[in-house]
Chains A and B, each alone.
Chain A
Amino acid sequence: MPDVGPMLELRGVEVRFNLKRSGLFGVAPQLKAVDGVSLSVQRGQTMAIVGESGSGKTTLALAIARLVPIAKGDIQMGDVDLLSLRGESLRTHRRHMQFIFQDPYSSLNPRLRAQNIVREPLDRFGIGSVQSRIDRVQELFEQVGLRQDQLRLFPHQFSGGQRQRIGIARAIASNPSLVICDEPVSALDVGVQAQILNLLRRLQNDLNLTYLFISHDLGVVQHMCDSIAVMYMGKIVEQADRESLFNNPKHPYTQALLSAVPSADPNRRNRGHRTTITGDPPNPIDLPPGCRFASRCPLVVDQCRTELPNLRVVDRTHRVACHLVE
């Protein structure tokens, strides 16, 4: 893979799910879980995707990994057109793109020993000789902070944090260039979270990994990401680099999201600038014609209810989809 240009580039990606039709002659409604998402992830960086549950962030990750069918759009990884890959070529391409899952309990096969779980990608992609695979597994165990005497244990003999380390070792086994981390620490206890987050950053430095980091925890995202995209109801509403987004959030939804996080930092709390948003998001099957945030937005004007705002550049790397942002 060439070393120039972005690692991953998405243009107008759309994922639709067909729902059960109502009645015998009813039309099956479609749910656009991801609606025209464009973004690019730079090499060796971490791109975070944040949003509330149901905003489509996990579906987007699954789409990039080609694990859900994509209705429209274009995904380019390096110089490979991901959507043109089929069958065997798709399977072999997956060695460059691995996944770390949220739940370390259900994402490991309970009947395989830890060493075989980590070894599986090496076997599947035919990487190295059989002897070298054994050495590689030992090396991976060391990289993620597991002991050699744990090689032959089964998943249930590990704690949650250790299981997530096995999941990470498996993800980096095939030397991928892109690792998709879907809520990698949200199932873990706070003390263990720090250990895993530090491990992910260390591995990124050592192996020059590119992360697509999905999380709803803005504190974690702020700590981990280089750039960030905020999703709401299947669309990106704001996208910027880390400092620009957190120091100067422009979209009312991003502002509300940030101010909703309870903070232990007294400076942040004493500003008392909490913008609470009321109500629930609109029904995703029957979306309003205008801005999807209009029904909850504190700054809403008439234009918002009729016209869908486009994501446009407001300041170098900063893109916002809101009529009211200059």
Chain B
Amino acid sequence: MTEPLLSVCNLTVEFTIRGGVVPVIDDLSFELAAGETLSLVGESGCGKSMTALAIMGLIPSPPGTISAGSIILQGEDLVQVTDARLREIRGNEVSMVFQEPMTSLNPVYTVGEQIAETLRRHQGLTRRQAQAQAIQMIDAVQIPLPDRRVHDYPHQLSGGMRQRIMIAMALACQPKILIADEPTTALDVTVQAQIFDLMQNLQKETGAAIILITHDMGSVAEMAERVVVMYAGRKIEDGRVEDILLRPQHPYTRGLIACVPHLLDTVTSDRPYLQEVPGMVPPLADFGFEGCMFAPRCNLVKDMCWQQKPDATKLTETQSAACWELASNNGTTNA
């Protein structure tokens, strides 16, 4: 395998809360190849967004610190570099699109100024060049009349257009990695489809790798090539999209897919109850438990699960999961 673009190794992020120090990301490792789309999946509070912030060097401190591990981007460890270097990397090499486009745009500057700012800061363009480039970017994200829209303020745009502006801004410097944190959660499905098409087209043109954070398996199927499933700060399963969706192995992944009423191709009068995953994600104070974090909600739980944290078991060449049940009958999985 060729050198990955980004490799996250044994990353641990700890938060100091009232009850002590807890790991919000616990020994997380994954790799991202150039130009690929990787999806981080899980319920809220599982550490997906925190992983994105760690890569961007934006972990709020206090209460958070990166206590172990490394984030290697093209041979450079983002955990070790100076703040000045991080500022160069952010927006230039790695950039991010957030969930709520209204709160992540500055309401008192026009969208053109905001895109141009990124270009002036990172590419050293003049004001005029940056403005011209901003118009091009707005055109690239398929907003009609870009030379007029460039003078609009965020409140004059619809939700979908604001998210397009965020994408234009994120892609302005042609980053190698685009992190999209639930980019379409606040949008209608028809607009979501437009945004996904746009992201895929721009990815083809610029060759950027995308990390898509979501809880919707439909979006994963549409966008991603590989999936990392997270639960309570830990990676519990990863693999290729087709494998994860059709042959999920970890009980949590199976539950996560089965509990959602997916839109079916053909509807019949038969309507079984949804399969429930009982309980909910544990509160932060319970993170870092020495057994399996999923044990309290798991229907296959056994003694071992309460005592020791399961390591990732390689199930196939491309799929692995961290579960004692799977580890015990490794090799004879019901694939």
In the bound complex, how far is the Cα of B246 from the Cα of A224, in angstroms? 24
Query: Which residues 251-271 in B have Cβ within 8 Å of A in the complex?
Result: 255-257, 259-269, 271
Q: Is the CB of B267 within 8 A of A247?
A: yes
Q: At the interface with chain A, which of B97-105, B147-155, B210-218?
A: B210-218
Contact with B190, one of A193, A222, A257, A263 (Cβ below 8 angstroms) = A257
Q: A190-B215, A194-B274, A263-B218 are in contact. Are A246 and B267 (CB under 8 A)?
A: yes
Q: Is the CB of A159 within 8 A of B280?
A: yes
Residue B197 lies at the interface, judged by CB distance under 8 Å to chain A = yes
Report which of A194, A216, A256 forms a contact with B276, defined as CB distance below 8 A. Answer: A194
Residue tally, chain A, CB below 8 Å to B: 47
Q: Determine if B263 and A194 form an interchain contact, defined as CB atoms under 8 angstroms apart.
A: no
Chain B 86-100 residues near chain A, CB threshold 8 A: none
Count of CB-CB pairs between chains A and B under 8 Å: 132
Q: List A contacts of B268 (CB < 8 A).
A: 243
Q: Enumerate A128-170 residues with CB–CB distance to B below 8 Å.
A: 159, 161
Residues B219-263 near A (CB distance < 8 A): 219-223, 242, 245-246, 255-257, 259-263
CA distance A259 to B196 in the complex (A): 13
Number of B interface residues at 8 Å Cβ cutoff, please give it: 51
B295 in the interface (beta carbon within 8 A): no
Contact in complex: A262, B193 (CB < 8 Å): yes
Q: State how many angstroms separate the Cβ of A275 from the closest Cβ of chain B.
A: 9
For A190, give its contact among B43, B158, B220, B221 (CB under 8 Å): B43
Which residue on B lies nearest to A274, using beta carbons?
B193
Q: Scan A195-216; emit 1 where CB is below 8 A from any B CB, else 0.
A: 1011001100000000000001
In the complex, which residues of chain A have a beta carbon less than 8 angstroms from the beta carbon of B271? 223
Say whether A246 contacts B264, CB under 8 Å. yes
Instruction: List A contacts of B192 (CB < 8 A).
Output: 260, 262
Q: Select which of A194, A258, A264 is within 8 A of B275 by beta carbon.
A: A194
Query: Do residues A265 and B262 form an inter-chain contact, with CB atoms below 8 A?
Result: yes
Q: Does B189 touch A at the CB level, under 8 Å? A: yes
Q: How far is the CA of A268 from the CA of B276 in the complex (A)?
A: 24
Q: Shortest CB–CB separation between residue B240 and chain A, in angstroms?
A: 13
CA distance A201 to B197 in the complex (A): 36
- Known contacts A194-B277, A201-B273, A262-B216: A216-B267 contact under CB 8 Å: no
With A and B bound together, what is the CA distance between A198 and B263 in angstroms?
17
**Besides the contacts A195-B278, A274-B193, what 16 more A-B pairs have beta carbons closer than 8 Å?**
A52-B190, A53-B159, A189-B43, A190-B256, A190-B260, A191-B276, A193-B259, A222-B264, A222-B267, A243-B267, A260-B190, A262-B222, A263-B218, A263-B262, A264-B218, A266-B245
B contacts, CB < 8 Å to A: 43-44, 144, 158-161, 188-194, 196-197, 215-223, 242, 245-246, 255-257, 259-269, 271, 273-278, 280-281
Identify 22 residue pairs between A and B in the complex whose beta-carbon atoms are under 8 Å apart, listed by A's number: A53-B159, A190-B216, A190-B256, A190-B260, A191-B256, A193-B260, A194-B261, A197-B261, A198-B276, A201-B273, A219-B263, A247-B267, A257-B189, A260-B193, A261-B218, A262-B193, A262-B216, A263-B221, A263-B222, A269-B221, A276-B193, A280-B161
Q: Which A residues lie at the B interface, using CB under 8 A?
A: 52-53, 159, 161, 189-195, 197-198, 201-202, 216, 218-220, 222-224, 242-243, 246-247, 256-269, 271, 274, 276-280
